[in-house]
Structure 1
Amino acid sequence: MDTELLGQQASLEVRNVGGIDETAVAFDPGITILTGRNATNRTSLLRSIMAVMGSDDASLKADADEGRVDLTVGDERYVRTFTRSNGTVTTGGEPFLDDPELADLFAFLLESNEARRSVAMSEDLRELIMRPVDTDAIHAEIRELEREKSRIDDELDDLEDLKGDLPELERKRSRLEDDIEAKREELAAKEEDIEALDADLDETREEKRELESRLDDLREKRSALERVRSDIDLQQDSIESLTAERRELEAEREELPDAPMGEHAELDDEIERLRGRIDTLEREVSDLQDVIGFNEDQLDETGAITSHLDAGDDEGAVTDALVDDSVVCWTCGSTVETERITSTLDQLRSVRQEKLETTRSLESELDELKEQRRTYRKQQQRRESIDRKLDDVATELDDREEQLESLREEREDLNDDIEALEAEIETLESDDFGDVLDLHKEANQLEFELGRLESDLDDVTDRIGSIEERLTEEEQLRSQREEVDAELRNLRTRIDRIEENAVEQFNEHMAAVLDILGYDNLERIWIERVERTVREGRRNVDKTLFELHIVRSTESGATFEDTIDHLSESEREVTGLVFALAGYLVHEVYETVPFMLLDSLEAIDSERIATLIEYVADYAEFLVAALLPEDAQALDDDYTRVTEI
């Protein structure tokens, strides 16, 4: 929550929401008591607060076409509007929360609150606590980090391989340096022999120069031939690599499933159908909420007594009305039992819940279809990419094969030139030049071998330098891997920590509340987090469950475990409230939602209501509770009271 909102007064203005025509209420930080009998619009005011906070659990006044709630906290202002058009109510404005799910579950604790009702109805408590947690996003993040960890491990393995290559490369460099030194010494000795012979052959210098020219030509041709041979080897390696790449691409393309465009079109149609179905369900849920909200407001705000008192002046009739538990139905005009209207409301709530669950199921199915469509499109894109690569590889293969053919022709030409030069040199040889010619040939060969050794040394030195540069990345990679490992551990235990914290918070608060409320034969209510094998469809799966345990005591002091069905209405209400409070604390709802709302506490006696409100008030910035006058008397007179709405 924005710290600038702490300690600020909140002002609420409401028009045409629930049973309220128009009102304005100010709330100081702390506890505010809405006190009064039925027909004082207390519940409507609470639902108005919910609406401006972002909840959809509020309705437009039945006889109005427009409604509005304004909330001002400090310098910040928030608005929620309601507009009726063609029988459908739409909402607008800028409420306090973008997503009200947490608040609806754990902060707005009216009678219909799902967390409160789930305890009494023995529903899945874990599902409620974990519903706001995006476990799919957590699992997706885990998969992404596992891929990142695998990539880092591959790089570290590569570095380890490179480390293993270094000793042999360094030995090779040392051998090459020794070979080069020996070859230079041998060449120097050969050149000294040539110079010694040259001193005795001054008279034939001209012939010698011609011979040397031919020898130089021969050396150049041999060097060119070696270059061409090297280029041929490179081209052959490239052709082999490209051929292997083509085979891999063809194999990958063969593995890709066919995804005809017709199937894509069917997916698009199904996605649009599901979207339409979801929109229809959401409108139906909205309409049901309007009906439920209207009837709840009528039950809460009109009261049965007033309708009977208006029926006549006869004292006996008035007395009969006071004890009669019937009401004039505002829909059909007939007299019906209040319980029938309440039962109908429960049925409507069940229908609304079923439609919400159907909507969630359809949204899940829609997400799966969208993912399937994305997968098809990715496969189609990959297929097109492979086709382009195959075309590129085929073009490059043609180019390299042409170059290879050209190099082979050049090699043949050089071989012919070398043979011709060698034949020409043979004709220039004489008895006088035989020794010097042999020495020159040997010197040429030594120079050629020396050049190749020096080239090999350069390659080895470059390779060693490249490896040493790569090895400088090892420390950073290991640091990254540690960070990824830590984050993975955190993500893998986050869901467990949330569940464990929820159970711990519930058990601590329930123990504290039971202690201060003093139920005589209720020793303990606690949640146990257990693993159970349950049947889902045709499979048995392991699931984590939150099991609610109730321990009672007898007058003799013996204890025994009981079930939620055997709790009194007061005990069930307290258990539901404490469970909601546990969710409120576990998800730190107070950090984002300034209001906690309490209503329908009549099943709990006044003293316990006062104790419970004072216990809960330590957490919320604004705690607003709707109480009957006799229940409100048990609370401190210093608390703000609102009696006129």
Structure 2
Amino acid sequence: MKDRLSRQSEESDSPVRLTVENVGGITDVDLAITDGVTLLSGRNASNKSSLLRALAGVLGGPVPPLKNDAESGMVRLTVDDTEYELELERRNGQTVATNSDVYTSSAVLCELFVALTETNPIRRAILAGDDLYDLLMRPVDTAAIRAEISRLRDRKDALDDRLAELDSMESRLPGIRSRRETLRDRKAELETELRSKRNEVEELEAEADDVTDDLKDKREKRNEVRSHVRAQEDAIESLESELDEVTTKLSEQQPTSDGTSVEEITTELDRLHQQKQDLTSKINALSSIVEMNAQLLDDEADIPDSMTEDDVTAKLNPESRQVNCWTCGSTVDEAQISEQVETIESIVVANRDQRDTVTSRIQSLTEQRRELESRAEQTERLQQRQEDISAELDRRREKVETLQSDLRSLESDIEELQRATTDDPDEEARLQGLYDDISDLEYERGRVASDLESVDAEIDEIESEIAARGDIEAERESVATELRDQRDRIESIEQDLVSTFNEMMQEVLDALGYDSVERIWLERRAEGNGRLSESAFELHIVRANEEGEVYDDTVDSLSKSEREVIGLVVALAGYLVHDAGEAVPFLVVDAVEMFDAERIDGLMELFDAHADYVVAAVLPEEAYELEDAYDTVSTRSFTGTP
């Protein structure tokens, strides 16, 4: 296949085009990207990495750096007549995106699983021997899943409590129904007794011809007043008991041990929120500086086509190399920039630790304020209830005094009327006893009728609640199923990552011919109950010696080439499991110079099987051997490229 430099202008009908202006070391580039694998061929320091960073940036990854001598730049990606554009500008020495209409808003997917460059976090973690779990699981919103699990668990517990309550109600229902029958029978007995007593009164009063209607009315009125007095006294007794309970609860309301008020906590929270915001701004600013300098060092790491003796010495001693500082434009030793980057990174770590401490303090104070506000609200409710009860007691006591005064007046009137109508004290005493009995019976009948009404209402409520059991059980089953699904969701993703990596890794080992490595496999380890953050991924290496015996080894013993392969396969496993291809059907591959053409070919076949577009940077030697298999673009087409 011929070099595509001569065909760039002829491929305007290609479904994907990339235009780059003033990015990295590139002045101007316009190239077509066809389906499948596109190899970017060029020597070191020919801006292959700059173009790949530009592509990754317009896809939604990290913002690429501007050209040193430019104040603005642009990256445009055209896919099926739809344009995506990233406009760049230099502000305060930093490259910022002034207009970001990128291919996807999922920056995490792009950074971890699409932009497989030398600075890819997964590749760097493999080289450093760092833990992979947080990186591979970063696209999963575990906080949201935890919150949903907590909500579902609380709902399930509430439904379980409700069902247990219904069971308790149902078990009590026979006893309550029995009590209702007892109350009905008692009410009937009382009504029979009342009729009997009233008949006796009528008979006695009929025998006494001189009993006036006025005396009868006074006696009935006296019975009514006695009933009212008794009802008021019962209510007073109940209110006094409730008042004692409220007073006791108020006495148990303790102030905070340090005497801190809600207003003081609110003031402190405002200060802490501002401090957290300042720390976040500082972290973001410093992180951008670290990223820009890291990119600067990576760009300057490329080796030119020809070298002087001083160049060779500098290459053998990287710390003595000099680079152009992107902030001031002067030439400084690379070691100085590296030291400054390390210093800034330590400051970022310290600021993050401080922000975590502030966040923890904010959470603690927020909870303390919530508790104080709840306690204050409860105290206010108790005080209001105490005032209401006291006022009600005063009213009822005044009512009792009025009723007792009326009762004394009635007693006096009755005695006076009795002296005028009869001289038989025994008959009057008997009549008075009957009226007292009638009063007691009427009071008890009223109490029984009230109890019966309450029991009827309770039975109706229980039967209504029990009738809804089917709906509650159905909801409980639905919630339990959803809860299981949420709990299994993260474990399922973890297992998919492990199985996908292990399958692809074995295929790659067989295809790329790493004979000394028998197997590389990832293990999911779950500690405790195995949920969420309690899981971890552990990488295992199995080697075979000359006698064919296998033994366990460590990642540190692998060559850089072997570790780079692992990093690429791990990233591809994440690309598949997290369905990154649905959001971004691209893979951007850089820093594969340590592989020969045969192994690059094997990797490209693997990537091509899972992504619509694969753009990879290779050296001319490997590109020459692979040009019959893949489309190739030479960096000689880049304006400003040597």
TM-score (norm 2): 0.81
SS of the equivalent of 1:304 reads: coil
- Aligned CA distance change for structure 1 residues 222 and 191 (closer, same or farther; 3 Å): closer
SS of the equivalent of 2:324 reads: coil
Partners of 2:336 and 2:93 lie apart in 1 by 22
Q: Deviations over 1:182-223 (max 9, x none)?
A: 44455556677788889x86x94xx45x24x53344334433
SS of the equivalent of 1:31 reads: strand
Partners of 1:63 and 1:606 lie apart in 2 by 36
Q: Deviations over 1:235-291 (max 9, x none)?
A: 543453354345435534435753255565455445434433442332222223223
- Aligned CA distance change for structure 1 residues 19 and 429 (closer, same or farther; 3 Å): farther
Whether the aligned pair in 1 keeps the contact of 2:501 and 2:570 (CA below 8 Å) is yes
Give ranges in structure 1 of 5+ residues lacking alignment: 1-7, 309-316, 333-339, 534-541
1:403 matches 2:395? yes
Partners of 1:256 and 1:479 lie apart in 2 by 47
1:370 maps to amino acid: I
Partners of 1:52 and 1:592 lie apart in 2 by 13
Whether the aligned pair in 2 keeps the contact of 1:549 and 1:562 (CA below 8 Å) is yes
Within the candidate set 600, 612, 631, 1:621 is matched to 612
- Aligned CA distance change for structure 1 residues 262 and 56 (closer, same or farther; 3 Å): same
Q: What is residue 331 of structure 1 aligned with on the other side? A: 324
- Aligned CA distance change for structure 1 residues 74 and 370 (closer, same or farther; 3 Å): farther
- What is the number of residues matched between the two proteins? 604
Q: What is residue 87 of structure 2 aligned with on the other side? A: 81
Deviation at 1:599, TM superposition (A): 0.8
Q: What is residue 642 of structure 1 aligned with on the other side? A: 633
SS of the equivalent of 1:528 reads: strand
Whether the aligned pair in 1 keeps the contact of 2:293 and 2:341 (CA below 8 Å) is no
Within the candidate set 557, 563, 569, 1:566 is matched to 557
Partners of 2:194 and 2:240 lie apart in 1 by 39
Deviation at 1:414, TM superposition (A): 4.5
Q: What is residue 25 of structure 1 aligned with on the other side? A: 31
More displaced stretch, 577-586 vs 75-84: 75-84
Question: Identical aligned pairs, as a percentage?
Answer: 32
2:278 maps to amino acid: G
Q: What is residue 524 of structure 1 aligned with on the other side? A: 519
Q: What is residue 538 of structure 1 aligned with on the other side? A: none
Partners of 2:184 and 2:67 lie apart in 1 by 96
TM-score (norm 1): 0.81
1:577 maps to amino acid: L
Partners of 2:627 and 2:541 lie apart in 1 by 32
Q: What is residue 474 of structure 1 aligned with on the other side? A: 469
* Structure 1 segment 445-484 matched on structure 2, within 5 A: 450-484=445-479
Deviation at 1:75, TM superposition (A): 6.0
1:284 matches 2:277? no
* Structure 1 segment 216-365 matched on structure 2, within 5 A: 216-254=217-255, 258-260=259-261, 265=267, 268-300=270-302, 303-305=303-305, 329-331=322-324, 354=346, 357-358=349-350, 360-365=352-357
Deviation at 1:118, TM superposition (A): 1.5
Whether the aligned pair in 2 keeps the contact of 1:223 and 1:448 (CA below 8 Å) is no
Partners of 1:54 and 1:526 lie apart in 2 by 31
* Structure 1 segment 51-66 matched on structure 2, within 5 A: 51-56=57-62, 58-66=64-72
Q: What is residue 110 of structure 2 aligned with on the other side? A: 103
1:368 matches 2:360? yes
Partners of 1:253 and 1:68 lie apart in 2 by 65
Q: Deviations over 1:137-172 (max 9, x none)?
A: 444444444443443344344434433432222112
Deviation at 1:568, TM superposition (A): 2.5
Partners of 1:585 and 1:351 lie apart in 2 by 37
Partners of 2:90 and 2:152 lie apart in 1 by 49
Deviation at 1:59, TM superposition (A): 1.0
Deviation at 1:67, TM superposition (A): 1.9
- Aligned CA distance change for structure 1 residues 109 and 235 (closer, same or farther; 3 Å): farther
- Aligned CA distance change for structure 1 residues 323 and 183 (closer, same or farther; 3 Å): closer
Q: What is residue 45 of structure 1 aligned with on the other side? A: 51
Q: Deviations over 1:580-602 (max 9, x none)?
A: 22222333322333322111111
Partners of 2:439 and 2:237 lie apart in 1 by 29
Within the candidate set 111, 136, 147, 1:129 is matched to 136
1:11 matches 2:11? no
Partners of 2:440 and 2:391 lie apart in 1 by 35
Q: What is residue 4 of structure 1 aligned with on the other side? A: none
Q: CA RMSD in A?
A: 3.9
Deviation at 1:462, TM superposition (A): 2.0
More displaced stretch, 575-584 vs 471-480: 471-480
1:575 maps to amino acid: I
Q: Deviations over 1:442-495 (max 9, x none)?
A: 777666655554443223212222232233343333334334433443444444
Partners of 1:376 and 1:193 lie apart in 2 by 71
Within the candidate set 115, 119, 140, 1:112 is matched to 119
2:112 maps to amino acid: L
Partners of 1:163 and 1:233 lie apart in 2 by 32
Deviation at 1:62, TM superposition (A): 1.0
- Aligned CA distance change for structure 1 residues 452 and 167 (closer, same or farther; 3 Å): same
Whether the aligned pair in 2 keeps the contact of 1:232 and 1:407 (CA below 8 Å) is no
